[in-house]
Amino acid sequence: MTIESRLKAQAYGLGFDLAGITTLGPAPTASAFNQWLADGFAGEMHYLERSVELRADSSIPEPGMRTAVVVAMNYGGTQPTGTIARYARSDDYHRVLWDKLDALGAWLTAESGARTRAYVDTGPVLERDLAQRAGLGWFGKNTTLINPKLGSFFFIGALFTDLDLASDAPFDADHCGSCTRCLDACPTHAFTAPRTLDARRCISYLTIELKTAIPLDLRSQMGELIYGCDICQDVCPWNVRFSRDSSDPALTPHPDRVSPDAAELLLLDDAQWRARFGKSAMTRAKRRGLARNAAIALGNRRDEASIPALTHAVQNDPDPLVREHAAWALEQFGAAPAS
């Protein structure tokens, strides 16, 4: 059995659902990524602009690396819909994938003496590009990577190595056809064209990456979503047919992270927020972002039972961003914001 076959077998044994190999080098999507940045579609994600040269060529971030083992891990697309995106309902997925990739790297080092480094959504690497080149799927019209046997509800990770490994064939087919369900379903009309996302209008960006006030014209379109958005994936026929439960206990969703009470989230202080979400990917929004999002959800729900919580936030929240969004929420059902 070849080292490539044994390496993939080891990856599957560690719990990954997909595994492929590709050579590092210039990214075919680099020019499109640069144009996306130039168009301003990244919004406030300025960190992406600081690593353009590194992302353009996957052999640059870690000198001496020659090949990537690209893996995917399903996180449970069959979970019920809720106000928290499915990927964020368990403990932080970064640590789960890193531990498995580190174990895979340790095996490869023991077998061959190879040097390795793991990447999981945090380094200057276009993982989606590598995954397509490693044969794991195609770019859907909603910009996610879609696998014909798994759908798109999966995390992507990569193990870089200085070994010269045989590459898998890239996934060159496009199985979206004439379907536009993902584009049509987006409530904020964030797609300017198939496979082109204006993040500034994307609910996932607005609730997670945006650190300032959410634009007034988009608030009512966000519904009751509090952290992330799965809408464009929910309607994808490949997910409707092929999504499945996660098989890894570490990715088991916390029951209180499907559709938590927005009024309760609005009133959490920093210590309570850290105790409840400190081990999850939801720390990226911080307490102020989550409270801001909860206020918008309550404003769109227009349930008079939430007026006391919103009034308390307007009067007492230490963050002016939260106070402003709570005041907006009160205005949505005619309650004058108290000050």
pLDDT tens by residue, the chain, 339 residues: 999 999 999 999 999 999 999 999 999 999 999 999 999 999 999 999 988 999 999 999 999 999 999 999 999 999 999 999 999 999 999 999 999 999 999 999 999 999 999 999 989 999 999 999 999 999 999 999 999 999 999 999 999 999 999 999 999 999 999 999 999 999 999 999 999 999 999 999 999 999 999 999 999 999 999 999 999 999 999 999 999 999 899 999 999 999 999 999 999 999 999 999 999 999 999 999 999 999 999 999 999 999 999 999 999 999 999 999 999 999 998 855 544
Task: Give the active site residue among 57, 99, 102, 121.
Answer: 121
What burial letters (b/e) apply to 264-302, b meaning 16+ CB within 10 Å? ebbbbeeeebeebbeebbbbebebbbbbbbbbbbbbbbe
Which residue from 297, 305, 303 is spatially nearest to 326, judged by alpha carbons?
297
* Domains of the chain: residue spans and CATH: 1-254 (no CATH), 261-339 (1.25.10)
**Of 162, 150, 175, 173, nearest in space to 19 by CA:** 150
User: What count of residues does the chain have?
Assistant: 339
Q: What tokens does 165 get?
A: 């490994």
Query: pTM for the whole thing?
Result: 0.95
- Give the pLDDT confidence score for residue 335 in this predicted structure: 53
Asked if 121 is an active-site residue, the reply is yes
Q: What is the pLDDT of residue 333?
A: 84
Q: CA 278 to CA 266: how far, in whole Å? A: 16
